[in-house]
Chain A
Amino acid sequence: MTVLQTSRTDPTPPARKGRRRATALSGTDRIVLLLMVGVPTLLHVALVWVPTLSSVLLSFTSWDGIGDLDQITFVGTRNYVDIFTAYPRFWPAVQHNLIWLAFLILLPTSFGLLLAVLLDRQLKFTRIYQSVLYLPVVLALAMVGFIWQLMYEPNLGLVNNVLGIAQSSPVDWLGDSDINIYAVLIAAGWKHTGYVMLLYLAGLKSFDPSLKEAAALDGANGWQTFWKVTFPVLKPINVIVLVITVIEGLRAFDIVYAINRGRNGLELVSVLITDNIIGESSRIGWGSALAVILLVISLGFIITYLVQVFRREERT
């Protein structure tokens, strides 16, 4: 927010909080207002929340999607039981999603924080460094997939050539199902690090420098200042970075689909859901049950995010 607020030309003081006068609205005004809020809300609810709730309902039914709606039959939790016990692609996909989450949280996030802390000071060329590091953020994840395919090409790609194994014993980074998930994660991390760095840089910018100064006067070294002063103050940003990272991890789809349609070691829950629609078999109840599993996992984080964001809202 800071970025924009400072760039605003008119210096209007912030509104006093919590003071809203009872406004008597005329009849037309009331209708206009109702339409202004109602139409977008209706569109959002109809295309986002109605399908979400339908997913939950449909997950307890069986329907091949071809017949009429009255062919839907209630099957209880059978879809879930089948997915957990008899679907060979499910657990590997869950495992890959977990690896994905753990990796994103551990590496790009901490590296992004480190870069933000290093760059948030008076340093020559800091703008240039920042720009280079966030360049991948503007690229589509699918595009990141294409670009890294060129990097990982066994004989022609840069990686094997730099390692000097392109001719002798090339590693097939994306084709070997034991390692390809990590190879893809490096590509995903290439984009995610810049994003995290930007979020932390914005957080550090609103950080009161006198705090750091006080710590320095008290004889704290850089390391102590960071852990005892800066990091605790960044807590709200930490929560947001964590939630964004988790949501990104659960949404992950584009990059694996662009590389090999999410097969051969790159299965993810999102890929299984998509395969169920545009792939070989179209089983609505089944696909919905997979979606609900994803929904339940993400809801916990979405609620954390809402609490964090809207609690601050009430304070300001």
Chain B
Amino acid sequence: MTTTLDRPPVNTPGAGEREKKTARLRASRIALHTFLIAVCLVWLAPLLWTVFASLRTYEDTAANGYFSLPSELTLSNFGKAWETADLPNYFWNTLVITIPAVIVTLLFSSFVAFGVTRFSFRFNLALLMLFTAGNLLPQQVIITPLYRLFRLIPVPEWINYKETLLDTQLGLILIHIAFQIGFCTFVLSNYMKTIPNELTEAARVDGAGVLRQYWQVILPLCRPALGALATLEFTWIYNDFFWAIVLIQTGDKMPITSALSNLRGQFFTDYNLLAAGSLLVAIPCLVVFFALQRQFVGGLTLGSTKG
């Protein structure tokens, strides 16, 4: 990007001076790399320490302490954490909550974004601001009445034997959707604005209704933005802790991130097991990190900078 900067300056200095300059440049590069490597090592330390602890046996660390060379490394802590704490159940809960929440959030927010960018109502901007502001509210501002509201809303017995929306995964899905559509609508409407109006106009002239314009013209063009948002929303909803802690009361119904604090002490009794359990819970996030990095970063910066 800044290749032009490396061009020699207009008044070419003498050869000796240039050499001195390159030497100085090289020295500053080495200093820069040293600094960055040091920072990166510090940054990785907490994770590496967790991995290190999770790979050691209890007997080993009890005898030698944690700050020591391992006598043996093992993966058995992971298996033990997985089984004793019944992690599959909690992973399943997370899946049941996250997948529908992400899909409906993207569907709803693309509806609204399509509506406000393709057609003009009187309240276009006001509507967008409402959604954007709603997403920025601290969750705690709305939790007290929301908790009451969920207790008042009846649901059929097959969803929850207490027949209230409180303590159901459905309630959690709903609040995730309601809260997250704000951000996604904002991002998607910015994105859709870059698509020329002529495209939908042409489709309309050809007799396509609103739904077809949305589904066959606009949505396919938004695929990159949708991919980025799906990655980001998956991570956020997976990482949610607060909603589930308050709105789910039965421990067995909790998604994995919130369940971890209950499992600690109860099942993850020793330090090595806790490290292994924490890492297991972090795995989906790490998959996002390694496999979907572009989408994640793209989504994160999408809301803040516009091209």
> Which A residues are in CB contact (< 8 Å) with B32?
118, 123
Q: Are A43 and B241 in contact (CB under 8 A)?
A: no
Q: Are B239 and A48 in contact (CB under 8 A)?
A: no
> Which A residues are in CB contact (< 8 Å) with B298?
3-4, 7
Q: Are A134 and B297 in contact (CB under 8 A)?
A: yes
A266 at the interface (CB under 8 A from B): no
Return the contact of B271 from the options A5, A136, A153 (Cβ within 8 A). Answer: A153
A181 at the interface (CB under 8 A from B): no
A54 to B275, CA, bound (A): 42
> Which B residues are in CB contact (< 8 Å) with A12?
194-196, 199, 221
Q: Are B209 and A29 in contact (CB under 8 A)?
A: yes
Instruction: Name which residue of chain B comes closest to A167, CB basis.
Output: B65
Within 8 A of B (CB), among A139-195: 139-143, 146-148, 150-151, 153, 155-158, 161-162, 166, 190, 195
* Interface range for B: 35 or more
Return the contact of B129 from the options A121, A124, A301, A306 (Cβ within 8 A). Answer: A306
The 0/1 profile, CB within 8 Å of A marked 1, for residues 212-242 of chain B is 0010000001001100100000010011111
Q: Are A274 and B261 in contact (CB under 8 A)?
A: no
A310 to B126, CA, bound (A): 10
Q: Are B300 and A195 in contact (CB under 8 A)?
A: yes
- Interface hit among B12-20, B75-83, B85-93, B277-285: B277-285
How distant is B83 from chain A, measured CB to nearest CB, in Å? Answer: 20
Q: Are A251 and B115 in contact (CB under 8 A)?
A: no
How distant is B155 from chain A, measured CB to nearest CB, in Å? Answer: 15
> Which A residues are in CB contact (< 8 Å) with B36?
118-119, 125, 129
> Which A residues are in CB contact (< 8 Å) with B69?
none
Q: Are B40 and A310 in contact (CB under 8 A)?
A: no
Return the contact of A209 from the options B1, B45, B177, B307 (Cβ within 8 A). Answer: B1
Q: Are A274 and B143 in contact (CB under 8 A)?
A: yes
> Which B residues are in CB contact (< 8 Å) with A128?
40
Return the contact of B282 from the options A143, A195, A240 (Cβ within 8 A). Answer: A143
Number of residues on chain A facing chain B (CB within 8 A): 130
Q: Are B275 and A150 in contact (CB under 8 A)?
A: yes
A50 at the interface (CB under 8 A from B): yes
- Interface hit among B95-103, B156-164, B178-186: B178-186
A76 at the interface (CB under 8 A from B): no
A3 to B275, CA, bound (A): 35
> Which A residues are in CB contact (< 8 Å) with B196?
12-16
A147 to B276, CA, bound (A): 11
Q: Contacts A12-B196, A40-B112, A310-B129 hold; do A1 and B307 have CB atoms under 8 A apart? A: yes
Instruction: Name which residue of chain A comes closest to B294, CB basis.
Output: A3
A131 to B296, CA, bound (A): 12
> Which B residues are in CB contact (< 8 Å) with A44?
130-131, 134, 178, 181-182
Within 8 A of A (CB), among B33-67: 33, 35-36, 39-40, 43-47, 49-50, 53, 61, 65-67
Within 8 A of B (CB), among A252-283: 253-254, 257-258, 269-270, 273-274, 276-278
How distant is A15 from chain B, measured CB to nearest CB, in Å? Answer: 5
Instruction: Name which residue of chain A comes closest to B54, CB basis.
Output: A150
Most chain B C-beta atoms within 10 Å of own C-beta, residue among A33, A39, A118, A206: A33
> Which A residues are in CB contact (< 8 Å) with B182?
44, 48
Sample (8) of A-B pairs whose CB atoms are under 8 Å apart: A16-B196, A44-B134, A48-B178, A135-B47, A142-B257, A288-B144, A302-B136, A310-B128
Residues of A within 8 A of B (CB): 1-5, 7-8, 10, 12-16, 19-21, 23, 25-26, 28-29, 32-33, 36-37, 39-41, 43-52, 54-55, 58, 65, 115, 118-119, 121-125, 128-129, 131-143, 146-148, 150-151, 153, 155-158, 161-162, 166, 190, 195, 198-199, 201-203, 205-206, 209-210, 212-213, 216-217, 236-237, 240-241, 243-244, 247, 250-251, 253-254, 257-258, 269-270, 273-274, 276-278, 284, 287-288, 291-292, 294-295, 298, 301-302, 305-306, 309-310, 312-313, 316
Known: A7-B224, A288-B144. 13 other contacts (CB 8 A): A4-B191, A4-B225, A5-B194, A23-B204, A50-B149, A115-B39, A138-B285, A143-B239, A153-B271, A156-B65, A206-B307, A247-B136, A298-B136
The 8 closest A-B pairs by CB, nearest first: A140-B239, A202-B301, A47-B178, A161-B67, A40-B108, A54-B145, A51-B142, A37-B115
Residues of B within 8 A of A (CB): 1-6, 9-10, 29, 32-33, 35-36, 39-40, 43-47, 49-50, 53, 61, 65-67, 108-109, 111-112, 114-116, 119-120, 125, 127-134, 136-149, 174-175, 177-179, 181-182, 185, 190-191, 193-197, 199, 201, 204, 209-211, 214, 221, 224-225, 228, 235, 238-242, 245-246, 257-258, 260-261, 264, 271, 274-275, 278, 281-282, 285-286, 288-289, 293-294, 296-298, 300-302, 304-307
